Structure 1
Amino acid sequence: MTRALIVIDVQESFRARPLWETISNPKIADQVDRLVRLARGAGDLVVWVLHAEPGSGDVFDPALGHVRLMDELRREDGEPLIHKTSHNAFTTTNLQQLLTERGIRELTVCGIRTEQCVETTTRVASDLGYLVTFVVDATATNPIPHRDAPAGQSVAELLSDPRTLGADEIIRRTEYALAGRFATITTVGQLEDSAGPRA
């Protein structure tokens, strides 16, 4: 086993926010489940990562109960579950140690949000020497308000502001920024095709 699938922040916290209605990929858990089944079938390690902000009082505060895998996903015995408090999955966790101990050199990454925790983890992983595959259609994100937009915008205000950066544009930018520099960009279907027919 030299490969691992890193599932980043596919957690109920995001569904608990009003912004969920703008998510680029509401079926992300289904896409991630396909990747998890592929990884398990290949004998790869599956690592689950959740984002937590203890004491924050918001949806990322573990005390409120939303910091858990999306209900469609199932973690199997022996699959590590780590909690991070930074954007990338390395800085505030023992992820690198866990991967080193198991001889992992190749990573497949997916999760929420495309340009934030998933992209940041990809960049750090590349800098640490891992060969990274970024599964773009197994990521999801939301539109981002302009830096000068008023704080506390409603979803309607966010979507009606012409300065808002749309999710499709964010994902496209992320692909361009990562490809050939930090990761190979692929899709769930391409990985399934390369795995061949199931026995």
Structure 2
Amino acid sequence: MTAIGNTANTALIVVDVQESFRQRDSWQAASDPDVADKVALLVEHSRLHGHLVVWVLHSEPGSGTVFDPALGHVRPIEGLAPAPGEPVLTKTSHNAFTTTNLQQILTERGIRALTTCGIRTEQCVETTTRLASDLGYDVTFVVDATATEPIAHRDAPAGRPIAEVLADPRTLLPAEIIARTEYALAGRFATVTTVKELTGS
């Protein structure tokens, strides 16, 4: 089992595990559409060990997208629920620090070790992990408690159906994205582990 710090100084950061993603057609091609189940295991493990759980949601007010809070999807995926006293932060940047008071919360509680998970692997979770490392936190990245979607090539037309995106040989598929993220983070920004390795179950 991987150690993630002592009770007093460890926090689990749950990044963007929200209903917004399940409203998009691209979610059918996600690496793990049921990633919330693995996140729930981490949340349970963290609570059991007295670790702080911090919930972060991504919001794009006025955008008219699934990330617009006016549409009601900026909330944890069904089955996940913050417990009393667990901070719920709303961000508008890729990382969980820049547009929230996350660092203040962690500093006030003397937290020095973070465990990161969520959606999307290479975007908000990786960016949060990198920044946390640069801020001096000891970070554990739980790779199978993250999920991502295919990424179209930069020159591909925007707005194509997911079937066309998947058929394009230039598209970067989720397995490739996750592997790249593991290589980029391991030994540099974080300890990369799995739910089983971390929790023993």
TM bin (shorter chain):
over 0.9
Hey, what does 1:165 align to over in structure 2? 172
Indicate yes or no: 2:120 matched with 1:113. Answer: yes
Deviation at 1:12, TM superposition (A): 0.1
Q: Distance in 2 between matches of 1:67 and 1:102?
A: 27
Alignment of structure 1 residues 167-186 onto 2, 5 Å:
167-186=174-193
Deviation at 1:32, TM superposition (A): 0.2
Alignment equivalent of 1:144, drawn from 129, 151, 162:
151
Secondary structure at the residue paired with 2:13?
strand
Q: Distance in 2 between matches of 1:60 and 1:157?
A: 24
Cα RMSD (Å) of the superposition?
Answer: 0.8
TM-score scaled to structure 2, two decimals? 0.96
Q: Distance in 2 between matches of 1:107 and 1:75?
A: 17
Alignment of structure 1 residues 55-66 onto 2, 5 Å:
55-66=62-73
Following TM superposition, the consecutive aligned residue runs of length 4 or more in structure 1 with deviations greater than 3 angstroms are none
Alignment of structure 1 residues 98-137 onto 2, 5 Å:
98-137=105-144
Deviation at 1:25, TM superposition (A): 0.6
Secondary structure at the residue paired with 1:97?
helix
Deviation at 1:27, TM superposition (A): 1.1
Deviation at 1:72, TM superposition (A): 1.1
**Equivalenced residues, count:** 194
Alignment equivalent of 2:10, drawn from 3, 7, 21:
3
TM-score scaled to structure 1, two decimals? 0.96
Secondary structure at the residue paired with 2:32?
coil
Secondary structure at the residue paired with 1:177?
helix
Deviation at 1:153, TM superposition (A): 1.2
Hey, what does 2:96 align to over in structure 1? 89
Percent identical pairs in the alignment equals 71
Q: Distance in 1 between matches of 2:141 and 2:80?
A: 20
Q: Distance in 1 between matches of 2:21 and 2:111?
A: 29
Alignment of structure 1 residues 8-87 onto 2, 5 Å:
8-87=15-94
Alignment equivalent of 2:160, drawn from 145, 153, 157:
153
Which deviations, in whole Å up to 9, do the C-alpha atoms of 1:68-112 show, x marking residues without a partner?
000110210000000000000000000000100000000000000
